[in-house]
Amino acid sequence: MEILHVTAECYPYAKAGGLGDVAGALPKYQTELGHVAKVVMPMHRTKFLLDNVWDTVHKGFFNMGNFYFDYTIIKEATNKLGFDLYCVDIFGLFNREKVYGYDDDTERYTAFNIAVTDWVSKWNHRPGVVHVHDHHAGLVPFMMQNCFAYRHLAAVPVVLTIHNAQYQGQFGWDKQQYIPAYDTWQWGKLDWNNTINPLASAIKCAMKVTTVSPSYMDELKNTAAGLEALFEYEKGKCTGILNGIDNDVWNPETDTYILDNFSIKDADKGKALNKKKLCDDFGLDIKKPLFAFIGRLVGEKAAELLPQAIYDSVYHINGRMNFLILGSGDPNVEHQLENMRSSLVGFYNSTIGYNEKLSHQMYAGADFLLMPSRVEPCGLNQMYALRYGTMPIVRSTGGLKDTVIDIGDSGGYGIRFNQATVGDITFSIYRAVELYEDKKRMTQLRKRMIGIDNGWEVSAGRYIELYRSIS
Ligand code: ADP
């Protein structure tokens, strides 16, 4: 089967979060299952773009309202990622460093959707399935089915995967002229709450909708940033498929980012060496348990609770631990996390920013990984942590519920709590500090964690079954 993934991110080309990891791994595993998986994404100006050789495969043009755009599709020449990677350059809108966060993101991503649809409409065959990811590709299904120029694509099966329903890409009807000419009586398929809402539109138009974990799918019926009623209405075509992780990229035995490679057999020793490097670099005490946090410093991740939880833990659990934070996001939280360094010397340190290499070193060297998330559609960090023998401490939500069993339950290997509050986080840290004293149990649990297989093989196959059900 030929599958075309349409996405804003794809690791290692460009990654802002979990979407990048998934779009870089799922097509690879689908290819290994014998399918032809392709990825098309905007042309971001990253190191990967500059370091690789690209062939131009198509040139086209379109109008978006009053604007005229030329676009070019380029393809990575050497199949470096194990699948065909295509990028769309639209003169004036892409070829920029960041993936998101520009004032003209509405124009950029609407134009991306038009260019992709236009390009596919020029193929001399139809793809087996078009798989769109998140709101950045959310207008593609509507355009394929309703825009006059592209209606010969109307029968192509379309799947939407929602990696995060909080972000919907909505914009006002004053920009309706951006959508290529369509049957105007179909306007309702674009609309949600009097705005053009690309995510809602994709939910309405896709033949199947998936979320990245079963529990997140259930939660969306109650809390979906205004789309609850839509999920209830469309529930017949919605299902949750748990993300996997790329066991080739995230492998403590071969990871080139970490100081000392290790396997399940010598995990205690390997982790200790990696921990020593981290502690030396960040002025922390190797004898104490090391708690890490890696992620976006935003409300969804409950990042604003971290400063108080860290202070409370250091003062009330008698400084029996170290903390190391890596992240960026809300400027207020960033400032607090920076300022705390001077008052908690020896107990706490942080790096504000995005650092792929350091993230690998932290998964390898930390003892515990904190994830107090309010919302976690799947969460990949906890699965990376497990692979490196680092115990996840998670709030029971979304994919965290589906992938972490508390040590108090049979077969458990993590710590779970219910509320995103300083009290619950601090109490969980206390449980972890007590557990850490029991070296024998820690060794057993580490082996259990590293032995868990959260690889993509099973889920990649489930997507194929889903495509077959609509082909
Ligand atoms: P989300 O997509 O909501 O941010 P996920 O858990 O699905 O969360 O994926 C987060 C991914 O981004 C993981 O690969 C994590 O290691 C990575 N990541 C997040 N923040 C940073 C950072 N500051 N530096 C390096 N990697 C990061």
Token pair recorded at residue 451 = 């032995």
Candidate of 354, 358, 362 to mutate for ligand 1, largest count of ligand atoms within 8 Å of Cβ: 354
Q: Which atom of ligand 1 is nearest to the CA of 359?
A: 25
- Whole-number Å distance between alpha carbons of 385 and 363: 5
The pLDDT value given to residue 332: 98
Which strand (E) or helix (H) includes residue 417?
A: strand 415-417
The pLDDT value given to residue 309: 98
Alpha helices in 85-155, H assignment, sequence order:
105-121, 140-146
Q: What is the pLDDT of residues 310-350, one digit of tens each?
A: 999 999 999 999 999 999 999 999 999 999 999 999 999 99
- Identify the bridge partners of residue 240 per DSSP, sorted by sequence position: 211
The pLDDT value given to residue 386: 98
CA-nearest residue, atom 7 of ligand 1: 18
The pLDDT value given to residue 197: 98
pTM: 0.94
Q: Which atom of ligand 1 is nearest to the CA of 19?
A: 2
- Whole-number Å distance between alpha carbons of 448 and 446: 5
Q: Which atom of ligand 1 is nearest to the CA of 22?
A: 7
Q: In which residue ranges of the chain is pLDDT below 70?
A: none
State in Å: Cα 314 to ligand 1 middle: 26
- Whole-number Å distance between alpha carbons of 71 and 291: 47
Q: Is 294 in the pocket of ligand 1 (CB under 6 A)?
A: yes
Candidate of 21, 133, 162 to mutate for ligand 1, largest count of ligand atoms within 8 Å of Cβ: 21
The pLDDT value given to residue 243: 97
State in Å: Cα 9 to ligand 1 middle: 12
- Whole-number Å distance between alpha carbons of 382 and 394: 8
The alpha-carbon radius of gyration of the chain (Å, integer) is 23
Q: Is 381 in the pocket of ligand 1 (CB under 6 A)?
A: yes
- Whole-number Å distance between alpha carbons of 73 and 41: 10
- Whole-number Å distance between alpha carbons of 290 and 3: 43
Alpha helices in 388-456, H assignment, sequence order:
398-403, 422-437, 439-451
Q: Is 379 in the pocket of ligand 1 (CB under 6 A)?
A: yes
State in Å: Cα 16 to ligand 1 middle: 7
HSE, CB side, 13 Å, CA atoms: give it for residue 168.
Answer: 21
Judge contact between 399 and 215, C-beta under 8 A.
yes
Question: What's phi and psi for 469, nearest 5 deg?
Answer: -65, -15
Q: What is the pLDDT of residues 90-144, one digit of tens each?
A: 999 999 999 999 999 999 999 999 999 999 999 999 999 999 999 999 999 999 9
The pLDDT value given to residue 5: 98
Token pair recorded at residue 262 = 């290790």
Q: Is 5 helix (H, G, I), strand (E, B) or coil?
A: strand
- Max CA-CA distance within the chain? 69
State in Å: Cα 381 to ligand 1 middle: 7
Q: Which atom of ligand 1 is nearest to the CA of 381?
A: 6
CA-nearest residue, atom 12 of ligand 1: 17
Domains defined along the chain, listed by start:
2-244+456-470 (3.40.50.2000), 264-450 (3.40.50.2000)
The pLDDT value given to residue 441: 98
- Whole-number Å distance between alpha carbons of 366 and 282: 12
